[in-house]
Amino acid sequence: MPRSLTEIAGIAVASLTAEERRRCAAYVDPHPLERGASVSIRNTTVPVTVPSFMAFVDLQPGANWGHPCRYLLVSREDGSIARVDSQFPPPTESLRLVHRGEGVEDWMLMSTQPLEEKSS
């Protein structure tokens, strides 16, 4: 059974260490990625091998780019994760905030839009 966006967000945040959760900001792009698609991360193209959603983790909110961040492709079917470490963020238009660490203020965030499940 496909995972909901809320489940995907929980899986992404749970994949972080306690220290990463304490200080990061995490986002999910609610647009599904189908097998055969690809995600461009800076100068790298990452193939999508299973239907997924992309999560993005800013490991140093408020710092200028480039700094450590992480892309997570979370499988919609089994919740498995493909992880790509990077130094630069994706476009922010569709990112939805799913986790804010301690002391992370609004000005440090790439988006303050919360994740909303689509009603069917």
Cα angle at 100 between 94 and 104, to 5 degrees? Answer: 110
pLDDT score of 118: 61
The residues facing 26 across adjacent strands are: 57, 99
Give the residue extent of every domain in the chain: 5-102
pLDDT score of 92: 85
pLDDT score of 91: 85
Residue 45 identity (one-letter amino acid) = T
Task: Using a cut of 0.85, tell me whether the model's pTM lies above it.
Answer: yes
SS3 10: helix
Q: What is the pLDDT along the chain (120 residues), one digit of tens a residue?
A: 789 999 999 999 999 999 999 999 999 999 999 999 999 988 889 999 999 999 999 999 999 999 999 999 999 999 999 999 999 999 888 999 999 999 999 999 999 999 886 644
Residue 26's Cβ-side half-sphere holds a number of Cα atoms within 13 Å equal to 24
User: What is the distance between the alpha carbons of residues 102 and 33, in angstroms, rounded to a whole number?
Assistant: 30
